[in-house]
Amino acid sequence: MKIAIVSDSHDRGQQLAQAISSARDAAAEAVIHCGDVIGVKTLSLSLQLGLPMHVIHGNNLGDLIALAKTAYDSGGKLNYHGRDADIVLHNRRIFATHYPHYGQAMACTGDYDLVCCGHSHAASVISQVNVKGGNTWLVNPGTVAGIGANAATWILADLAEMRFSIYELNL
């Protein structure tokens, strides 16, 4: 199973939809958004693409009630998890948070196969040593919005192979 991992869309719905469309074209079956969606309208174009989305809110909260209502009304396309998410996709335990330091801490527990985070706007893929004697993947897709001097990036993850590719949007 392949998934798109995105973060920090900051009200840039067009860029978010462009990344998810590219991921869908690459056979992605779901999306994890690591926070800072801000406005619920940011998700409207992406939801039309048909991939189920798992979304947390980050530090730029926006209207959480509207986000929860949109998730409720989405027929399962939008799963709003609140501050962080503990989900299973393709038999892989996945944790999503907005903050890199929290993500690193959760990766160190060894309880997850993959930990996704955002906030820094810098894309990275790290094999984090954990306390159980193994490694956990810690990935940050950067900012799909291309905020500041950062490129607009997202990650395509292959959960069967545990491979991660960072892609840059052409803005």
Ordered by start, the domain boundaries in the chain are: 2-168
pLDDT band at 48 (very low <50, low <70, confident <90, very high): very high
Check residue 27 and give its pLDDT: 98
pLDDT of 171 above 80 = no
Model confidence pLDDT, tens digit, residues 75-88: 999 999 999 999 99
pLDDT band at 149 (very low <50, low <70, confident <90, very high): confident
Total residue count of the chain as it appears in this document: 171
* Average pLDDT value for residue range 9-36: 98
Model confidence pLDDT, tens digit, residues 119-142: 999 999 999 999 999 999 999 999
What CATH code would you report for 2-168? 3.60.21.10
pLDDT band at 159 (very low <50, low <70, confident <90, very high): very high
Check residue 61 and give its pLDDT: 83
